[in-house]
């Protein structure tokens, strides 16, 4: 296993998958709460944090399976944030026998029809390269970072994004591989007990993903008022309470 990971605590295993543009520091405040009574695994995805750069095409679902097999974990509570939520959803569709509960925090969704406004926002960030300060400024100016920008965790958010952007300069060309059919096309097949958590201060597209889950799955949807996309940093106690209540039902 070449991905960097950390294990804390004992008990039923919980694996946390960080968002895009971040690393396992995404779980700085949530992981210690969960580790009070559970074995908590955090890891850096390929090309993030302390894990190696991509070599060839990247399959995040198979990377996750390899990590679980390496740790001899075959029944897990899977928690994914943003891009990590996309990975967790696809994994739960491909390998439902591994997952006891699925918790999605403002997830992305493979195959979802994102708006032209969202694509324009992402293109505007990329067009500012190689000016990292400008890229961060554009990224963080969106409404989905409004709460964290006004919090003590603004610097941590920017540190993770800066580290991520610097690393991407060294990445070779590669393709992200997702299971087919894409998750949006088969969300109705999701059999794993699912909790979907999202803040109220979000991009319209992320709120649309929540509506898509409402219509096409049995996921329980929970909103955390006043939180944005970085709810993992600004509202860890709220997240912990919802997650534990869901796991202990």
Burial of 187 (0-12, 13-18, 19+ CB in 10 A): buried
Quote the pLDDT of residue 47: 93
Which architecture characterizes domain 5-248 according to CATH? 3-Layer(aba) Sandwich (3.40)
- Nearest-angstrom CA–CA distance, 150 and 66: 38
Question: Could you give the dihedral angle defined by the CA atoms of residues 89, 6, 46 and 93, in that order, rounded to the nearest 10 degrees?
Answer: -20
Token pair for 184: 């949006």
Q: Which residues pair with 7 in a beta bridge?
A: 41
Residues 79-134 pLDDT 10s = 999 999 999 999 999 999 999 999 999 999 999 999 999 999 999 999 998 999 99
Instruction: Please report the pLDDT score of residue 70 as a whole number.
Output: 98
Q: What's the confidence (pLDDT) of residue 56?
A: 87
DSSP 51-81: SPPP-S-B-HHHHHHHHHHHTT--SEEEEEE
On average, the pLDDT of the chain sits at: 96
Listed by start position, the domains of the chain span 5-248
pLDDT below 50 — which residues of the chain? none
Q: pTM to 2 decimals?
A: 0.96
């Amino acid at each position: 296993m070449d991905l960097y990971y950390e294990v804390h605590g004992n008990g039923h295993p919980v694996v946390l998958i960080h968002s895009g543009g971040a690393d396992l520091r995404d779980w700085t405040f949530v992981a210690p709460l969960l580790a009070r009574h559970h074995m908590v695994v955090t890891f850096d995805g390929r090309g993030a944090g302390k894990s190696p750069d991509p070599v060839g095409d990247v399959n995040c679902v198979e990377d996750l399976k390899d990590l679980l097999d390496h740790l001899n974990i075959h029944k897990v509570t899977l928690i994914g944030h943003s891009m990590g939520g996309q990975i967790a959803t696809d994994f739960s569709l491909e390998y439902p026998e591994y997952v006891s509960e699925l918790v999605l925090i403002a997830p992305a969704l493979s195959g979802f029809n994102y708006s032209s406004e969202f694509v324009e926002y992402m293109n505007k960030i990329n067009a500012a390269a190689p000016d990292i300060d400008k890229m961060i400024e554009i990224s963080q100016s969106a409404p989905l970072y409004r709460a964290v920008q006004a919090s003590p965790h603004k610097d941590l958010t920017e540190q993770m994004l800066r580290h991520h952007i610097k690393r991407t300069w060294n990445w070779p060309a590669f393709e992200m591989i997702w299971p087919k059919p894409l998750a949006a096309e088969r969300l109705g097949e999701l059999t794993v007990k699912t909790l979907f958590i999202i803040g109220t201060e979000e991009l319209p597209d992320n709120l649309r993903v929540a509506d898509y889950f409402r219509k096409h799955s049995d996921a329980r949807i929970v909103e955390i008022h006043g939180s944005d996309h970085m709810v993992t940093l600004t509202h860890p106690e709220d997240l912990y309470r919802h997650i534990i209540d869901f796991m202990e039902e």
